[in-house]
């Protein structure tokens, strides 16, 4: 979850992609 937050700060577009990945992992 922490890594997702860090990548989210890197870019809004990336945050969306990471969010989708987080859901897939969940």
CA angle centred on 26, ends 12 and 3, rounded to 5°: 45
Count of domains forming the chain: 1
Q: What is d(CA 7, CA 17) in angstroms, rounded to the nearest whole number?
A: 10
pLDDT in tens, the chain (26 residues): 556 555 555 555 666 776 666 676 65
Range of the domain at 18: 1-26
Confidence (pTM): 0.32
Residue 6: what pLDDT?
57
Write down the H helix ranges in the chain: 2-10, 12-25
């Amino acid at each position: 979850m922490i890594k997702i937050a860090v990548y989210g700060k890197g870019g809004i577009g990336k945050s969306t992609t990471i969010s989708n990945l987080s859901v897939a992992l969940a």
